[in-house]
Structure 1
Amino acid sequence: MPKNFNIVLASASPRRVELLSSAGIDFEVMPGDVDETLLPGETPEQHVLRLAKSKAETVARKGHGRYFIGADTIVVCDGEIMGKPQDSTDAERMLKKLSGVAHEVITGFAVVDREAGCTVAEAVRTKVYFKPLRDEEIAAYIATGCPFDKAGAYAIQGGAAHMVRKIDGSYSNVVGLPLCEVVETLRNMGAL
């Protein structure tokens, strides 16, 4: 029986694809590329919500389906919004800043129902505590190439798992999609 892709994930992130798949949801992937520049005066929460909505709305205008999910994840440490590092020097700087301290991972997600003409959006926060990192640990992790497409230069589900002492909040949020909240939103909107 052919699948009916009423749900579209506006992201090329393999981590988001894996998380949404793990919930048993049938969906199509159509990346929603938008300018991710931080706007003047924008708070971290406003930033991720704006980008999540923009990604979902961009794909809803050009794709097929009914429900469109957009998401954006950032790391915030001592007031600094950390997106993806620009190079190895930037990744090293981020990881040294995160070493031994707590920080927040904030993911904004938006679900656009094109047929009903409505959008539901939410920002989910998780506090992450890093152990103190040795310079050689940071260098070895950067050498894997893993930090370069990750907010805050790390992936909790991958090579950086040993750096995380504990988390308060949603694990899937730190990976890049607060799965419980997204599934509840889809259900409440009638997508599931």
Structure 2
Amino acid sequence: MILASKSPRRKEILKQLGFQVKIQVKDVEEISSKVELIDKIKDISYKKVIEVAKENQNSFVVGADTLVEIGGEVLGKPKNENEAREMLEKLSGKEHRVITAYTLINLEKNINISEAVESKVFFKLISREEIDWYIESKEPMDKAGAYGIQGLGAIFVDKIEGDFFSIMGFPINDFVKTLKKLGINIKDIQKI
């Protein structure tokens, strides 16, 4: 299987389940003209995958995109430390949505599926010292919403409602369900 993503978290999730993952990415502008948030993120996920799939017509190509939304505002990856600080201050003491969309394409088999999984994350109140400490770790800099639930950012999370792996960046449970619908069983995943 080809993973159209540089995300070490997505690679790790897929490899843990036994997928033989090869990384191949194309630079794609991560914008969408879709109106609804779910449609936008599915569209961006699709754009990342289709460009790689065109060069690998007989391969299964998968990719994903994750966003954080709070009060109608989408928080992507912070561009700098100040933006990371602003995002963490917005999330402090509040609930937010994490939406991860994934796309699976195999052009030869006429497979083209995009799904999205939504979860809720509840943050505790975060002190200024905790935010400074976290930003110094550099962990928030490559993550939507400026935190990683699987890393140091876990200390900010009071609770979640939904799929931990989706919040981490790839909803593996939903993905396996999609594979089952395609007639691909768990024992066959190493062949993909």
Same fold (TM over 0.5): yes
User: Is residue 2:29 matched to residue 1:35?
Assistant: yes
For residues 13 and 64 of structure 1, what CA distance do their matches in structure 2 show?
23
Q: Percent identity?
A: 38
- How far has the Cα of 1:65 moved from its partner? 4.5
Amino acid at match of 2:29: D
Structure 1 gaps, min length 5: 1-6
Please list, as runs of the form range in 1=range in 2, the aligned pairs for 1:18-29 lying within 5 A after superposition.
18-29=12-23
How many equivalent pairs are there?
A: 185
Aligned partner of 1:62 in structure 2 is 55
User: Is residue 2:132 matched to residue 1:139?
Assistant: yes
- How far has the Cα of 1:190 moved from its partner? 4.1
For residues 32 and 145 of structure 2, what CA distance do their matches in structure 1 show?
15
Please list, as runs of the form range in 1=range in 2, the aligned pairs for 1:1-192 lying within 5 A after superposition.
7-39=1-33, 42-63=35-56, 65-191=58-184, 192=189
Q: Which runs of 4+ in 1 moved over 6 A?
A: none
Amino acid at match of 2:21: F
Aligned-CA RMSD value:
1.4
Amino acid at match of 1:35: E
Contact kept in structure 2, 1:54 and 1:70, CA below 8 Å: no
- How far has the Cα of 1:131 moved from its partner? 0.2
- How far has the Cα of 1:118 moved from its partner? 2.9
SS at match of 2:152: coil
SS at match of 1:123: strand
Q: Deviations over 1:34-72 (max 9, x none)?
A: 111354x63321121001111110100123642111200
Amino acid at match of 1:11: S
Q: Which stretch shifts more, 25-34 or 101-110?
A: 25-34
Change (3 A) 1:114 1:38: closer
With the length of structure 1 as denominator, give the TM-score of the two structures: 0.91
- How far has the Cα of 1:121 moved from its partner? 1.1
With the length of structure 2 as denominator, give the TM-score of the two structures: 0.91
